[in-house]
Amino acid sequence: MDIYDTIGSDYALNRSADIGVLDIIKYTKSISAKSVLDLGCGNGMPIAVNVEPLVEKYVGVDSSKILLNEFIESVPNAEALHSKIEKLDLQNRLFDLIFSFGCLFHLKPKNQCEALKIAASHVSEDGKLIFTSGIEEGECNGYVGKYTIPHWSLGEKKYKELLESCGLKFEGIEVGAGENTFFIFSK
């Protein structure tokens, strides 16, 4: 998302130092994940720096070159991929946990569908796909500092239909820290 190149390093000033960390650690540990794919990793703070030491392979993906460069500095043992998540090419790689925290809803509905189909095809057997988004279908605005950023949700019904058609099982919705709504799917 181009706005994050504009925001750049100021993003760290507006990001909570802990929201999402314990949630993603919980999901990582619950399936004893060895490999993690972080869609929309940003600068790696605070989630990647806390989860990467728990797994054998951590891959972060972001479309912002500025934030990805900060990710490389923050999480030097992780692999960093510069790509839009709806255009991501992972060949035939599989991951135990694929998650998108605070990112997927930045994509317009068509692009969310493309990104989720890609993600679903890379979930390993007994793995999970987890992402944050709104339960109700629609559009609203969020804010990062002085910038207004649109958010879209396909809604619970469409997320379930889409990902079940990709071979995943809907496990439910949980509300985590910061009132973030997590959609949880498994293979």
The tens digit of pLDDT for each residue in 68-88 reads 999 999 999 999 999 999 999
Question: Domain residue spans in the chain?
Answer: 3-186
Percent of the chain residues topping a pLDDT of 90 = 74
Cα gap 69→8, rounded to integer Å: 10
What's the chain's average pLDDT?
A: 90
For residue 11, pLDDT over 70 is answered with no
What is the fold, at CATH topology level, of the domain defined by 3-186? Answer: Rossmann fold (3.40.50)
- Which pTM value belongs to this model? 0.91
Mean local confidence (pLDDT), 104-121: 96
Identify the pLDDT of residue 147.
74
For residue 5, pLDDT over 80 is answered with no
